[in-house]
Structure 1
Amino acid sequence: MRREISLKIIFTLFLIVVLGSCSTDENTPEELELDEVQEDIVEEEEVIEDVDESVNLPEIDLGNWKVTLPIETNGKPIEVEPPEILNYATNEVLKPFMYNDSINGALVFYTYPGATTTNSSYSRTELREQMDPGSNATNWTFKQGGNMKGTISLDEISRDQDDDYHRTMVMQIHGRLTNDQRDLIGENDNNAPPMLKIYWQDGYVRAVTKALKDLNVTDTEILFTDAWEDGESYIFPEKVDLEKFTVEIKVSEGRIEVILNEDTSKTFEGVHIEKWDVFENYFKAGNYLQTTDSEAFAKVRFYDLVVEH
């Protein structure tokens, strides 16, 4: 469409030159026709501006993220890593679950109960940070620190049989065992618990951290997932409903700060987070639906997402 408009402008400019060279008297029909042509050019330029303004893309660099989908192959959820994820708009596997909302300038993550990952009964369309694109091996500790900030809204989410909204997780700080730790405790993967979970729940933002069941665990026992349980939980008082909201997570040694809409802040710190520094970590963001109801679904919009270390 834009090329057709440009060709029309070139043709009308040609007419201006031709008609202008032929006219000599004031207020001739040719000059009146030139006025009409110039008005048409202004209208065509306005159309071009409208076309440009109609395309509003999210401000998200996917170069350091992979995505997990609620569909599977060979018994495992499908994952798409860099560089393939960069072509999500044309990737036939990704298009149903991860796509642009060019009206609102957002990246939409759609999910429903389907394929699940190890140690979970819930499905997701969720990004996983990769500090080294295409590899899960490089991660960070709380001592090294990190920040993640995103602007989010719930596009749609289903309700349960009591007509209450289902809930979904939109951000995480997830733990990871090193290869040596994995081998020490005899695990077959590097999975460790998530230290921080950020939920959209009944229109509110809820943050949940992990706590040790027994503070006297040994250096080996602390590595097991079942050594940890959900600890402190905080529901931000501001109701976000289905409107746009911003969450920022700031991590440093022994400390997590979660900020809602650059205004309300909650800090988690203490012995449980201090002991957590035994793990490596990575950020996650997206749509991790917390139900197995067969008719459930959720669509989460991300307008921007930035990670810094």
Structure 2
Amino acid sequence: MNNLKNTFLPILLFLFVFSANLSAQEDASEVEKTEETTKSKKKLFSFLKKKENNSKSEKSQEDKKSKSKKNKYKLPDIDLSHWKVTLPVTNEKGKPYEIEPPEILDFASNEVAKPYMYIDSTAGAIVFHAMPTASKTRNTKYTRSELREQMKPGSNSVNWTFKDGAYMRGKIQMDETTRDSKGKYHRTIIMQIHGRLTNEQRDLIGEDDNNAPPILKIYWDKGKIRVKTKVLKNLNASNEEILHESAWGDDAGFNFEEEVGFKKFVLEVKVSKGKMVVVLNGKEHKVYDNIHMKRWGVFENYFKAGNYFQTRDEGAFSKVKFYELEVKH
């Protein structure tokens, strides 16, 4: 019996120790598994959190970009309720296509106007696009995409005199223009003051229309701003004689010193009795205060602004941007 105990006792002791070790190993394994699970959960949580943050960051960036894009869309500061436009295409009668108020207020939706007068919403400007076509206004060989002032919307009959006074201001930019065969940029007229005969004056001199000469033409000329006006050929001409277009000639012209090139610039035109002043960028002034201005007081006038392209070269074109345009009387 003692021998049997001596035989099994070491075995039982071994089994007990082995079982305890096994249990301890299992417990340790469970602890390790728990720790691994915890680590995995932490890693997954960290990954998901990072992904969420990245997603939020990307969304925030997208929102910023979207907001930035929205903020970039601008409209020009131009009220067209007292302007009509002449475009370089013809209507069904073969005359230059025109849009008057109130239709001009919806010019952006006009299919005929779209290629020649449209909004650049990233710049916040109206673009006037002109090129040589068959569409020519009376007494000229050139085409235009140009606004004509109408003090009474839809009518050309109500205009102003120098005695009444007038003011026009525009923020402008030459966007694109072609070059001639000598490599020089084509020029265009961007602002005008045009004379007009009253019906009585027209009938007095036997004309068949109310057209009178333009007292002011402002050109974008090879990157510079050039001004031309009219001078009376005979200072002793009567008030009736000066109503004839042939009584007036062109002056020598004037170039402002600053070269505007393809940058934005501001032009102002100020008219009062017997006087006209043209201002570039608030710095340079050209003053016309002479007998010619005083005699011009016999005419009615209206403002014009846009792109009156001065070439018939094949394939030529220009695009002029107007950011702001205002008129006061």
TM-score (norm 2): 0.81
1:236 counterpart SS class? strand
Q: Which has the larger radius of gyration?
A: 2
2:65 and 2:145 map into 1 onto residues whose CA distance is 37
Correspondent of 1:106 among 125, 139, 142: 125
Instruction: For 1:34 and 1:221, locate their aligned partners in 2 and report how far apart those are by CA, in whole Å.
Output: 84
The residue number in structure 2 matching 1:140 is 160
Mapped pair 1:164 → 2:184: yes
2:89 matched residue in structure 1: 71
How far 1:39 moved relative to its partner?
A: 5.2
Distance 1:50 1:214 in 2: 61
**Which is worse superposed, 284-293 or 47-56?**
47-56
- Report the counterpart of residue 86 of structure 1 in structure 2: 105
Give 2:109's aligned amino acid: T
Question: How many residues were matched structurally?
Answer: 283
CA contact (8 A) 1:210 1:232 kept: no
253, 257, 261: which one aligns with 2:273:
253
* C-alpha separation in 2, matches of 1:295 and 1:31: 61
Deviation readout 1:11-43 (Å, 9 max, x if unpaired): xxxxxxxxxxxxxxxx99999998678657644
Q: Where does residue 193 of structure 1 map in the other structure?
A: 213
Q: Which runs of 5+ in 2 are unaligned?
A: 1-44
Shift of 1:54: 2.5
Give the 5 Å matches for 1:31-42.
42=60
Residues 247-306 of structure 1, C-alpha deviations (whole Å, 9 max, x = no match): 100110111111101111110110001000000000000000111112211111111111
Aligned partner letter, 1:106: A
Aligned-residue CA RMSD (Å): 1.9
1:97 and 2:97 correspond: no
User: SS where residue 138 of structure 2 aligns?
Assistant: coil
Matching residue of 2:77:
59
> What is the CA-CA distance between 1:175 and the residue it aligns to?
0.4
Hey, what's the Cα distance between the residues in 2 that align with 1:118 and 1:142? Answer: 25
- How far apart are 1:241 and its partner, in Å? 1.0
Pick one of 224, 240, 247 that aligns with 2:260.
Answer: 240
> 1: CA distance between counterparts of 2:58 and 2:313?
57
Alignment correspondent of 2:142:
122
> Residue 107 of structure 2 aligns to which amino acid in structure 1?
Y
CA distance in 1: counterparts of 2:47 and 2:179, whole angstroms: 67
Contact 1:257–1:267 (Cα < 8 Å) also in 2? yes
Maintained 8 Å contact 2:73/2:123: no
Please give the alpha-carbon distance, in whole angstroms, between the structure 2 residues aligned to 1:244 and 1:34. Answer: 46
Aligned partners of 1:124 and 1:230: how far apart in 2? 21
CA spacing shift, 1:44–1:162, aligned 2, 3 Å: closer
Counterpart-to-counterpart distance in 1, 2:196 and 2:302: 8
Give the conservation status (yes or no) of the 8 Å contact 2:168–2:270.
Answer: yes
Could you tell me which of 204, 219, 244 is aligned with 1:184? Answer: 204
> 1:153 Cα deviation (Å)?
1.1
Alignment-mate amino acid for residue 152 of structure 1: I
Question: What SS does structure 2 have at the residue aligned with 1:148?
Answer: strand
Within the candidate set 295, 303, 307, 1:287 is matched to 307
Distance 1:75 1:41, change over 3 A: closer
Query: Among residues 253, 257, 262, which one is paired with 2:282 in the alignment?
Result: 262
More helix by share: 2
Match of 1:12 in 2: none
- Which segment is superposed worse, 39-48 or 191-200? 39-48
Q: Render the CA deviation track for 1:191-224: whole Å, top value 9, x for unaligned.
A: 1000010001111100111011111212211111
Letter in 2 for 1:147: Y
Tell me which stretches of 4 or more aligned residues in structure 1 moved more than 2 Å: 27-48
Secondary structure of 1:89 counterpart: helix
**Counterpart for residue 8 of structure 1:** none
Which ranges of structure 1 fall in alignment gaps of 5 or more residues? 1-26
CA distance in 1, matches of 2:263, 2:166: 27
SS at match of 2:253: strand
Matches of 1:85 and 1:130, distance apart in 2: 12
The answer for the alignment partner of 2:240 in structure 1 is 220
Question: Percent identity between the aligned chains?
Answer: 52
For the residues of structure 1 that align with 2:52 and 2:222, how far apart are their CA atoms? 62
Render the CA deviation track for 1:77-111: whole Å, top value 9, x for unaligned: 11111111111111101000001112222110000
CA contact (8 A) 1:211 1:232 kept: no
Q: CA deviation at 1:180?
A: 0.7
Q: SS of 1:197's equivalent?
A: strand
Q: 1:75 Cα deviation (Å)?
A: 2.5
